[in-house]
């Protein structure tokens, strides 16, 4: 008997989403004879029952397209804005699942999507997820699709910034995405030859960074490239946030927890614009002109790289195979050249940070890159 599959994409857009949709759809429909529909705009569209057919015609020609033909949103099933209120809409989604006689819901997304998918799985829905994000921070998978494309874009940006930095004898500070992890900044910084790389996993001392730039200047190198992950922070800021998190975790009363949470939110909000402050600090400490470039959403757009198309197709077809076997409640993880189903409980709520002894960190140090510590 033919199986019926629903697919949605949630969270931020990412290169390779369409390739993954195509991989699932073509393998499930063309190879296994299943029926596939898509839900528009993530969990919001699933709740509102907005669908589109994912037949061979729809899936044709989307391999190289950036973004997602299904659309996406950051709405959470259990806290969704409806009529000016935040409501738990998971039961409505369960109803829509059964209205379409679905056998499984496939959710493509990053860390937040993995948590939301687990919530639906805990409501009894058969769920499979695929790991998508340019940040490469999803736990239990070697890599996420979208990362390679963003890495290439960020590296090319640093390449271009070298010429203007050299011509004007400037410090160029370039902010790179990555949320709370440093994979993107670290990889692009190494590949682009950045002189300083600052990532969340290694809190920095601004004096150490300034001294590294001064040494370059005294050595006749009149410019420096500083690659900064958006979540990078100074040792002082990191210590304050760690103390606030510790206070929140050990709060004995509701009032105490609310106070600690408010303190943590305030510290987090203060971190906004940190890269701009860093650029200003470095200009004062080194007496060199400093300029800031924020790459922002440029890193998420455009045609997916060959590596991301391959990865997304590989994960998508492996997903169809797991559906055929009735293997649900898992994320399809990239493992070497193959794939591995990992229980959602082992993925949701976890963050894949850069280990301090990672080969990329060691390589950066050995070529003389300053990591701020």
One DSSP character per residue, 5-22 reads EEEEE-SS--TTHHHHHH
Q: So what's the architecture of 4-145+304-346 in CATH? A: 3-Layer(aba) Sandwich (3.40)
CA separation for the pair 179, 74 (Å, rounded) = 15
pLDDT in the model for residue 111: 94
CA separation for the pair 6, 282 (Å, rounded) = 51
What b-and-e string marks burial along 34-46, b requiring 16 or more CB atoms within 10 Å of the CB?
bbbbbbbbbbbbb
Which residues carry out catalysis?
135
pTM: 0.92
Q: Average pLDDT of each block of 10 consecutive residues along the chain (373 residues)? A: 92 94 96 95 95 94 94 93 91 95 97 96 97 97 97 95 82 93 97 96 95 91 92 88 78 76 76 86 92 90 95 97 97 96 96 97 96 94
pLDDT in the model for residue 16: 96
CA separation for the pair 13, 11 (Å, rounded) = 7
pLDDT in the model for residue 1: 66
Q: CB of 261 within 8 A of CB of 248?
A: yes
Identical fold between 4-145+304-346 and 148-300+356-366: yes
Strand partners, 36: 5
Would you kindly state where each structural domain of the chain is located, as residue ranges? 4-145+304-346, 148-300+356-366
Strand partners, 128: 106, 330
Q: How far apart are the first and last CA of the chain?
A: 60
Q: Return the CATH class of domain 148-300+356-366.
A: alpha beta
pLDDT in the model for residue 363: 97
């Amino acid at each position: 008997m033919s199986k019926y599959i629903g697919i949605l994409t949630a969270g931020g857009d990412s290169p390779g989403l369409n390739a993954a949709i195509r991989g699932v759809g073509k393998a499930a429909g063309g190879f296994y004879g299943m029926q596939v529909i898509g839900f528009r705009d993530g969990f919001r569209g699933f709740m509102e029952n907005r669908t589109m057919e994912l037949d061979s015609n729809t899936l044709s020609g989307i391999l190289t397209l950036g973004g997602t033909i299904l659309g996406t949103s950051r709405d959470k099933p259990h806290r969704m804005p409806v009529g000016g209120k935040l409501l738990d809409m998971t039961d409505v989604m369960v109803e829509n699942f059964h209205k379409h006689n679905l056998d499984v819901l496939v959710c493509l997304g990053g860390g937040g999507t993995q948590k939301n998918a687990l919530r639906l799985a805990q409501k009894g829905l058969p769920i499979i997820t695929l790991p998508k994000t340019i940040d490469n921070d999803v736990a239990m998978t070697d890599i996420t699709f979208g990362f390679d494309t963003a890495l290439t874009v960020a590296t090319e940006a640093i390449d271009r910034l070298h010429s203007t930095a050299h011509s004007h004898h400037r410090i160029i500070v370039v902010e790179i995405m990555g949320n709370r992890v440093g994979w993107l900044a670290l990889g692009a910084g190494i590949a682009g030859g950045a002189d300083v790389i600052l990532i969340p996993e290694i809190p920095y001392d601004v004096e150490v960074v300034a001294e590294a730039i001064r040494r370059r200047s005294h050595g006749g190198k009149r410019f420096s490239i500083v690659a900064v992950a958006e979540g990078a922070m100074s040792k002082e800021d990191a210590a304050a946030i760690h103390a606030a998190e510790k206070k929140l975790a050990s709060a004995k009363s509701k009032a105490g927890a609310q106070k600690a949470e408010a303190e943590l939110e305030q510290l987090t909000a203060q971190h906004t614009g940190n890269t701009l402050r860093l650029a200003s600090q470095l200009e004062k400490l080194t007496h060199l002109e400093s300029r800031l470039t924020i790459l922002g959403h440029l890193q998420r757009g455009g045609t997916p790289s060959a590596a991301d198309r391959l990865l997304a197709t590989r994960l998508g077809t492996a997903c169809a195979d797991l559906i055929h076997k009735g293997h649900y409640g898992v994320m399809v993880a990239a493992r070497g050249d193959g794939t591995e189903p990992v229980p959602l409980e082992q993925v949701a709520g976890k963050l894949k940070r850069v280990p301090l002894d990672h080969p990329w960190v060691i390589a950066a140090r050995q070529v003389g890159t300053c990591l701020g510590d």
